[in-house]
Structure 1
Amino acid sequence: MQKAKIFTLFAVVILTWGSTWLAMKFALVSMPPIFATGLRFLSAAPLLLWMLNTTRSSLLFPQGHRFFQFCVFLFCYCLPFTLVLYGEQYVDASTAAIIFAVIPVAVLLISIVLLNTPTSLLQLMGSMLALLSLFCILQEEARVSLSNNWKGGLAVVLAVFMHAFMYVLCKKRSCQVSLFTFNTLPCLAAGLLLTLTGAIVEKPILGNITWLSFASIIYLGTVASVFGILCYSSLQKRISTFSTSLVFICFPVITVILECLVMDSVFTPTSWILLAVMLGGVFLSLIPVKKRKRVPMTQQQWN
């Protein structure tokens, strides 16, 4: 029974995260990126507020972590999600998902710098393999699409490293708060700020917003942002960090398959091979470092 629950949670997470990138693409059909990102967070906020109240969690971070809560609002919500939607104006949904799959590699590299995290040669080799393969995939997709998509790719890469940096910084600060405390206020504040900014700067015409874009925003806010996070958090409590991280290897494959089926996109055989190599590199970077056992000094060792 427990294995069935774990399998179900894992399947739900990869299907949810895998479909998120197509939903973003559909949202952009009739909405500009900043306005769409704001509406996404506004649609998620009521559900988060209800769960915050139900679990009796605090709205604010503890004293001493309030500035960090502002950083979460800015670098976990406002900037990275806007960059992703901006990027998807120039790159395919599958390309954006593939870039995001290297988050474990980014976390590893930033952890080495900020936390002096022990690492292995295998992890470093996997990280380099993943990054090199990602670069080759971007080159291949740019060649096939015959478009100048470097802007979109760069925007998504920046979003990846923002998320990874904030994850490592949270670990460094040992900021222990509930899932709802971490997400609710930053999500609500980002929703209000980005919706207002988008309305002023981008001037969207509300009458032109299609039902497809509107439904995509609701899906992104409630299913992808809230339900997806809850399922992933529940999965983390049941299996190891290594096993949970395998989600990052599976969801881009789902995105590629969905995009090929729904949007009649073509993912070349070369890109499939490069994707397999890249995900293999990500897998190697996730393999935990074995802790060396301390050998007690015997009488012979002293002599």
Structure 2
Amino acid sequence: MSTKTRVSLLFMTVCFIWGTTWLAMALAVATIPPIIATGIRFAVAAPLIILLARVKGVTIWFPRDKGLEFILISLFYFAIPFTLMIFGEQYISSGLASIIFANMPVAVLVLSVLLHRQRVAIHQLVGLIIALGSLVTIIGNQMSVSSNGSLIGVVALVVAVCMHALVYTNVQSRCEGIHVLTYNALPCLMASVLLIITGYFMEAPDISNFSALSLSAVIYLGSVAGIGGIMAYFQLNKLASPFQASICFLIFPMIALFLDSVYYGRMLSHESMVLTVFLLLGVLLTKLPEGSFRNIISFKRS
């Protein structure tokens, strides 16, 4: 199989998994409390990741000097933000949740500038402004036609995005060289234990109320999204450029919006759909490498 074909298949796989994840979270939280649902999700994912690491001969143990990073990843990359995502979907549509999360590259860029004084090209700054302006307008439009509780869902998703971006910009650089399976295995297991214990006392779940559909959705999140999504995106990043891989952030919200409209019959307003296109174009601009436009202009002149 050629590299181009592998990249195409990996790209489609990542977009499909990320796009379906949002509907799965909505189905899961329909009858399972969010903390317990996320805990079960990671309880399904962690043994599979550990098994895969063993098969591939990858250690699951973090280096001894990375104890703080292990705790931060367990709490602020897995336990809290993933719980906030599924919690938020009790109040907003899965389509809107996916649009908010698609702004992850924007959040990473903002934090990189504020915390690490990263240089920003003009087109990246323009993309940032377009993406944030479009997102704020979309949220305002959707909240005006939704229940008052939608603000809770929006805040939960925004906080989750910020946490992920913060871990990405501060912890990943210190974990360079750690295999993706190591990065996910024990933090995922730790998150599952913490969440199941916390959920047991805070949510007092009644297992008899869990529907088969919700349980199936949680298992899908833990197995397909937990393993397939991680490994497919990891392999995609190895074979494609970071910019090419980041285009997934433009596609998966479209899949999530489509599934939300088919299953729940929920549609964004016409204005919000148009703004979504601008938002994704803004995200695309933030991911374009510095000098891209200069290269394009130079090519045209030559």
TM range (shorter): over 0.9
CA-to-aligned-CA distance 1:208-238 (integer Å, 9 cap, x gap): 1100000000000011121111001111011
- Aligned partner of 2:109 in structure 1 is 108
Give the 5 Å matches for 1:154-165.
154-165=155-166
Q: Give the TM-score normalised by the residue count of structure 1.
A: 0.93
Name the aligned partner's letter for residue 183 of structure 1. N
Q: Identity of counterpart residues, as a percentage?
A: 38
Equivalent in the alignment of 2:45: 44
Counterpart of 1:117 in structure 2 is 118
Q: Which residue of 2 aligns with 1:19?
A: 20
For 2:175 and 2:38, the matched residues in 1 are separated by 29
Structure 1 residue runs of 5 or longer lacking an equivalent are 292-303
Find the aligned partners of 2:59 and 2:175 in 1 and give their Cα distance: 17
- 1:174 Cα shift? 4.9
1:193 equivalent in alignment to 2:194: yes
Give the match for residue 238 of structure 1: 239
Q: Is the 8 A contact 1:45 1:184 kept in 2?
A: yes
Could you tell me which amino acid in structure 2 is paired with residue 211 of structure 1?
A: A
Q: Could you say what secondary structure the match of 2:145 adopts? A: helix
Deviation at 1:119, TM superposition (A): 1.3
Task: Provide runs of 4+ in structure 1 moved above 3 Å.
Answer: none
Which residue does the alignment assign to 2:85? 84
Distance 1:148 1:203 in 2: 23
What secondary structure is seen at the aligned counterpart in 2 of 1:64? helix
- TM-aligned CA distance change 1:47 to 1:224, over 3 Å: same
Question: Is the contact between residue 14 and residue 251 of structure 1 (CA under 8 Å) also seen in structure 2?
Answer: yes
Contact 1:118-1:289 at 8 Å conserved across structures:
no
Q: Are residues 65 and 175 of structure 1, via their aligned partners in 2, closer, same or farther at CA, if it must alter by over 3 Å?
A: farther
Output aligned runs, 1:252-263, within 5 Å: 252-263=253-264
**Cα distance in 2 for residues equivalent to 1:194 and 1:90:** 21
| CA root-mean-square deviation | 1.5
Letter in 1 for 2:250: I
C-alpha contact (below 8 Å) 1:30/1:210 kept by paired residues: yes
Q: State the Cα distance separating 1:146 from its structure 2 match.
A: 4.3
Once the two structures are superposed, residues 227-278 of structure 1 have per-residue CA deviations (whole angstroms, 9 ceiling, x without a partner) of 1110011110111001100111111011001111121112221111010011
Residues 185 and 26 of structure 1: CA distance in aligned 2, closer, same or farther (over 3 Å):
same
- How far apart in 2 are the matches of 1:143 and 1:263? 19
Q: What code does the residue aligned with 2:127 have?
A: G
Which residue is equivalent to 1:204? 205
Residue type of the alignment partner of 1:15: F
Aligned-partner Cα distance in 1 for 2:11–2:88: 27
Q: State the partner residue of 2:298.
A: none
Q: CA deviation at 1:63?
A: 2.5
CA contact 1:249–1:279 (8 Å) conserved in 2 = yes
Measure how far apart 1:8 and its partner are: 1.3
Q: Which amino acid aligns with 1:254?
A: I
CA contact (8 A) 2:257 2:267 kept: no
CA contact (8 A) 1:43 1:218 kept: yes
Q: Secondary structure at the match of 1:267?
A: coil
In the alignment, the residues of structure 2 paired with residue 71 and residue 233 of structure 1 have an alpha-carbon distance, to the nearest angstrom, of 21
Q: Distance in 1 between matches of 2:248 and 2:162?
A: 18
In the aligned structure 1, how far is the partner of 2:30 from the partner of 2:248? Answer: 28
**CA–CA separation in structure 2 for the residues paired with 1:53 and 1:84:** 30
What is the aligned partner in structure 1 of residue 64 from structure 2?
A: 63
The CA distance in 2 between the partners of 1:9 and 1:52, in whole Å, is 20
Paired position in structure 1 for 2:286 = 285
- More displaced 10-residue stretch of structure 1: 238-247 or 53-62: 53-62
What is the CA–CA distance in structure 1 between the aligned matches of 2:190 and 2:95, rounded to whole Å?
29
2:139 aligned partner: 138
CA distance in 2, matches of 1:12, 1:216: 18
Report the CA distance between 1:171 and its aligned residue. 4.0
